[in-house]
Amino acid sequence: MLRSLLLKKVQNKGLYNGGLQFGRQDVWLKPIASFKPTNNIHIVGQTNSYSTFNARATGNSSGSSSGSGQAKKKKISIWAKFKAFSTFAVSGVLVVGASGLAGLVIYLILSELFSPSGDTRMFNRAVSVVETDPAARQLLQCQDSESHKERLKAYGELLTDDRWTRNRPISSVRRIGRDGKEHHYMRFHVESKAKLALVHVEARQSETSYVPDVISMYMDVPGEKRYYFIKPKVSLPPRKGFLGVNWGPKKEKD
pLDDT tens, residue by residue, 161-195: 556 555 677 888 889 988 888 899 999 999 999 99
Residue 218's Cβ-count burial label (10 Å; 0-12, 13-18, 19+) is middle
The answer to whether 116 and 211 are in contact (CB under 8 A) is yes
- pLDDT at residue 19 greater than cutoff 50: no
Q: Give the fold, CATH level 3, of 119-230.
A: Nuclear Transport Factor 2; Chain: A, (3.10.450)
More confident residue, 215 or 51: 215
pLDDT, tens digit (0-9, with 9 covering 90-100), for 89-141:
999 999 999 999 999 888 877 776 667 667 888 899 999 999 999 999 999 99
pLDDT, position 53: 45
CA–CA gap between residue 79 and residue 24 (Å, rounded): 90
What's the confidence (pLDDT) of residue 5?
54
- Give the pLDDT confidence score for residue 82 in this predicted structure: 84
Distance CA 46, CA 115 (A): 98
Q: Rounded to two decimals, what is the model's pTM?
A: 0.51
